[in-house]
Each structure stands twice: as C-alpha cells, then as structure tokens.
Amino acid sequence: MRKEELQALIGYRLQRASESMEEARLMQNEDHWNTCANRLYYAAFYAVSALLVQGGHTASKHSGVKALFNQYYVKPGIVTKESGRLYNRLFDLRQEGDYIDFVFLEAETVEPLAGATAEFIDTIQLLITSA
C-alpha cells in the first residue's frame, strides 16, 4: 500500500472512531446501554485498527485485532495494561450485548466506560500522530 493510501485509511478509521464515539454518547443520553456498549467498542476498535495499520499489522477478525493490539502494544508497554483491559472489556461487553439473548446491560456497567473510551481514543490518536 502506498503511503498516501495508508494515510487515507488511517484517517478514515480515526474518523469512524470519532463518529462511533459520538453515537455512543447519543445512546448514553437515551439510556440504550447495549447499543452504547456496542458503539463504545466500535469507537475503540476503529482507533486500534488505525494504529495496527500504521504499524503494518492487519487482522480479518475482531479477535485478531484484539490479539495483535495486546501483542504489539500492550505487552511491550506502548500502551498501559489498563488500556488493554479496557479494550478487552469493551470487546466482551459488545459480544454479550449483541449476541447473548436476554442480556440487558445497565448504566452502572456501561456509563463509566464512556469517558475511559474517549481517553483511550485520544491516547491512540497521539500514538499515531507522534509516530
């Protein structure tokens, strides 16, 4: 992939992260916690995907993105273990809320993750821009 194409893809994914974060806030305001958790996860996912692309890593599945993020960024200490735990938690909540019947996520579980996810995305954006 040419440098221009790579930069366009990174920019696109960061834009999707921003949009998904905005959607999560809208769902938070309406007390739609399953959907809020979904959008928080996707906000983080798009940011992590942009970081992985910049580092030359790709995965075809969400579990692969999670594994690569942990391998190349969490384990070496480029991002904090707390950031890794947040991403893993968002992944798990999205799986539960989207695919398990009769799961109704609650504000107490999801709401605290909104601010943490916004900070997470900011951290990922800083990593990308400082590289």
Q: Which is the CATH superfamily of the domain at 3-130?
A: Nucleotidyltransferases  domain 2 (1.20.120.330)
Q: Which DSSP symbol is given to 9?
A: H
Which whole-number Å values give the CA distances from 18 to 35, 42, 62, 74, in the listed order? 16, 10, 19, 22
Of all residues in the chain, the percent with pLDDT exceeding 70 is 100
The answer to which of 1-5, 12-16, 53-57 has the lowest mean pLDDT is 1-5
What is the mean predicted confidence (pLDDT) over 42-46? 98
Which helix (DSSP H) or strand (DSSP E) does residue 122 occupy?
helix 107-130
Q: What is the pLDDT of residue 28?
A: 98
Distance of alpha carbon 70 from alpha carbon 84, whole angstroms: 6
Question: Residue holding tokens 């950031």?
Answer: 83
Q: What is the pLDDT of residue 131?
A: 76
What is the mean predicted confidence (pLDDT) over 13-22? 98
What is the mean predicted confidence (pLDDT) over 105-130? 97
Domain boundaries, the chain: 3-130
Of all residues in the chain, the percent with pLDDT exceeding 90 is 98
Q: What is the pLDDT of residue 1?
A: 77
pLDDT digits (tens, 9 = 90+) for 20-34: 999 999 999 999 999
